[in-house]
Amino acid sequence: MALNGKIAVVTGAAQGIGRAITELLLQNGAKVALLDANKTNGESLKEVLDKLFGEQTTLFLHCNVESEEQIKAAFQKTLGTFGRIDILCNNAGILNEEEWEKTISINLAAVVRTTYMALEHMNKMTGGQGGVIVNTASMAGLGPLKCCPVYTATKHGVVGFTRAMAAASTAAGYGIRFNAICPGLVKTEMLSSLSNKLGQFSHLAEETNTIIADKKMLNVTEVADCLLELVTDETKNGEALQVRCNGKKYMTFPVFT
C-alpha cells in the first residue's frame, strides 16, 4: 500500500510512539489527523509539523478516546477536512494499576470503540474504501508482566481483538487489514513515572526499575518503522509483530480446527 495521499488517524499522537508514527506517515506522503487528550503537547507538535510538512498535511484534534462523542467529532472533522480515512492507528495508552478501570477504558474499550467507529467509514460492505488498522499492543500482550496484571490483560485483549477482527474482516469482505505491534521497553514518558503507578504491586517497583535500568530500550523510531511495515505490506493481516532491541518477529499462535 503506497502512502502518498492516504489519510491516517493516529490516537495518542502528541508524544512518544504516537508522535514517531505520525512523523513517519507524513514523511511517506500521508496526511494525518492527530488525536490526543493533551492539548498543549498536541498544539505545539502541530506547529512543529506545519513547518516541516506544511499546514495542510495535519490536523490536531483534542480528543479523549474514552469519549464516544469526542471520537465521533474527531472523525467528522477528519472526513470534513481530508474526505476519507484509510489508516487508523489505535495507539493511545496508559499504564496505571491504581486506576485500573481507567487503564481498561483507555487501553482496551477505547480501541474497540474507535475501531467500530472507523469501520462505519472504512468498511467496503457499507460503502467505504477499505484500508488498514494497526493497534499498539505490547510484549505485555504476549506474556505476563507481574508488576502490572491489568495492563497485561488490556494488551492481551488488544492482540485478541485485532486477530479476531482480521478474521471477521476476511470472512465478511470489509477490505480492512488489522494488525498489532508488540514492542518491548521503549524510551518514552510512560516508563519514567512507573513507580507510583503500580498500585497494590508497588512492592515490585524497585525490582521493575532495576530491570528497566539494566535493559537496552527501543527508540520510538524503531517501533514506528515496524508499524509502517504492517501498514504498507498488504500481505500482513491478523499479525502480532513483536519488536525488541535484538530484532522483530511475527508471532505464531495455536490454530483452531
Ligand X SMILES: CCCCCC(=O)/C=C/[C@H]1[C@H](O)CC(=O)[C@@H]1CCCCCCC(=O)O
Ligand Y SMILES: NC(=O)C1=CN([C@@H]2O[C@H](COP(=O)(O)OP(=O)(O)OC[C@H]3O[C@@H](n4cnc5c(N)ncnc54)[C@H](O)[C@@H]3O)[C@@H](O)[C@H]2O)C=CC1
Comparing every residue's Cβ against ligand X, the nearest one is 138
The rounded Cα 135 to chain-centroid distance in angstroms is: 4
- Between helix 149-172 and helix 110-122 the angle, nearest 10°, is 20
Nearer to ligand Y, 138 or 208 (CB): 138
Nearer to ligand X, 79 or 212 (CB): 212
Could you give the CA distance from residue 8 to residue 254 in angstroms, rounded to a whole number?
A: 32
User: Pattern 36-65, binding to ligand Y, x per CB under 6 A?
Assistant: xxx--x---------------------xxx
Among 190, 198, 240, 241, binds ligand Y (CB under 6 A): 190
Nearer to ligand X, 39 or 249 (CB): 249
* Cross-strand bridge partners of residue 180: 135, 240
Among 79, 109, 212, 226, binds ligand X (CB under 6 A): 212
Q: Smallest Cα–Cα separation from 7: which of 33, 35, 28, 27?
A: 33
Q: Smallest Cα–Cα separation from 20: which of 166, 227, 177, 233?
A: 227
Work out whether 157 is an interface residue with ligand Y (CB under 6 A). Answer: no
Is residue 151 part of the annotated active site? The answer reads: yes
Residue 189 binds which entry of ligand Y, ligand X, none, CB below 5-8 Å type-dependent? ligand Y
Grid cell 498544539 is found at: 43
Nearer to ligand X, 57 or 195 (CB): 195
Residue 211 binds which entry of ligand Y, ligand X, none, CB below 5-8 Å type-dependent? ligand X
Among 90, 114, 179, 208, binds ligand X (CB under 6 A): 208
Could you give the CA distance from residue 59 to residue 116 in angstroms, rounded to a whole number?
A: 21
For residues 168 and 124, is the Cβ–Cβ distance under 8 A? Answer: no
Could you give the CA distance from residue 98 to residue 228 in angstroms, rounded to a whole number?
A: 33
**Cell numbers that stand for 146 in this block:** 507481574
Could you give the CA distance from residue 13 to residue 60 in angstroms, rounded to a whole number?
A: 9
**Cell numbers that stand for 236 in this block:** 500482513
Among 79, 109, 142, 185, binds ligand X (CB under 6 A): 185
Work out whether 204 is an interface residue with ligand Y (CB under 6 A). Answer: no
Binding residues among 21-60 for ligand X as defined by CB under 6 A = none
**Cell numbers that stand for 48 in this block:** 512543529
Binding residues among 92-121 for ligand Y as defined by CB under 6 A = 92-94, 106
For residues 184 and 222, is the Cβ–Cβ distance under 8 A? Answer: no
Site of interaction with ligand Y (CB under 6 A): 11-12, 14-18, 36-38, 41, 63-66, 91-94, 106, 136, 138, 183, 185-186, 188-191
Site of interaction with ligand X (CB under 6 A): 95, 138-140, 145, 147-148, 184-185, 190, 208, 211-212
Catalytic positions are 151
